[in-house]
Structure 1
């Protein structure tokens, strides 16, 4: 897929080989060339880089999805003033039971620690458009991930530039929003075979439609549906000590629904907005693969639940926001939090 609009900003290659002797009848011989390649009769070698590269691609897709969610919440939670700038910081931790190898077997379990910071500048266009108001925004920042397993047999460090923009249209209690976020960076890893690195790039898109219902006692209920997609590529690299070249790729679509109950109250000379949200997301048409001289295809659970609690506070030109959340599926769970500050410019 051509993504010329997203330039790559770092350079690389990739690493490491672990040799394992197996008997010809071993069950692992059905896992595919990446995991059991017969170099001579009865002698097989494994390439753990295949699983490591697939892990990087899938978790970068999850990371972009999380950044997109943060951007949606920020845009919808900030008041309707003419323009604002908003730095946001995020941290989160994910435990994954391992990707399922098509043909049998599972990659090793792993953990991902993530931190990101980005600035977001928005502007409300004057006048009305199709009877509503329009807000446009741009995003620029940094995202870093570290992956390893409990036994520390491997480690991946990913540093990336993130950038993008969004378009929000609202009329009364109804709104729609679309965004795109790009990522360009480098992954560096090591395992028993040595060290390696390679370029990564990708993008995430999301479109949201929602409506906020007024309830008794000043409470409100916001419900929204979304349709999104992601696509992440790792550059081709040569496994150290061999002439073998592979690259990882992951892409997929997702559809979801999210409900948020909140209220607005005066507090300490400002306005507070506490909220509680829950959601469901299904990832479909997901394709996780390693290609090159050796190949492998992977699966993971595609049904996700989300629970989130947050608090926004507006005082004068400033808006402060904080949230904690957990996202979970059949083979992974994530806990995270974010902090944001928005400043009215006009």
Structure 2
């Protein structure tokens, strides 16, 4: 999920604690080319201040105007935009798109407290809202579930941010960390070598000086986690990869040539890994883009991460790569 939703809830909770009246607005359904998907969330304060987005256009302005002119719903209420081409154009919905929203008053933040605590523990949580009563309950969710609305009950998913763990703090890692942060990953860099970690200065990236395999075990990697080994040092890379390949991490990769990858797989086979677990290793890491500079290589790595995350064909892999051009869904089932 996008951490923007968690930011919306965090800000809504703060406003509520300050004594302000707050409404949550959720995208229920879209038709045509509406800009935001079902489940997108916005919080609206009684003075018109907003956080989040449901359209990226003039819909937010209309919601603000309604509140400022006294239209303040006391129970969950449906709001429709773009029922005609003229209205769609007025509210900035392209190609005649339509947008159906749910606006609800925030009457308690206890469920927000629990939801934020659970997602911080890397749990995937579903929020169930009963429209008739306005009651909210939280449920454990499973990966692969989607937002749903049946006319009476809304069920929205909230989960941990996608997490990238990088082994080694070289120049490539620095660029990769900055790009991954821009893509909304939670980024962790691990390097116990003093000459590397003393100069690390990437804001927003957590740095660990633990042994990489110890950190991988400590993090208890989940299906929202990715691990990329970048040191070229088997003592650091291989043990971390050993633990990562046994985990549910959605992506495990290592920098190196095809020959180095083949030798790495031979070393990993000496440990308690199954052939299927070893075959999960992405190597050479990244898509084949002709990348040469650290920034270009970082783009190729993140392009592969995003493709695997979204189940897109890995068509641009080098011939002879450890992971051949297969569907990402097949990779996750291996």
Query: TM-score over 0.5 for the alignment?
Result: no
TM bin (shorter chain): under 0.3
TM-score normalized by the length of structure 1: 0.23
TM-score normalized by the length of structure 2: 0.24
Which protein, 1 or 2, shows the higher relative CO under an 8 Å CA cutoff with sep ≥ 6? 1
The structure with more helix, counted as a fraction of residues: 2
The structure with more strand, counted as a fraction of residues: 1
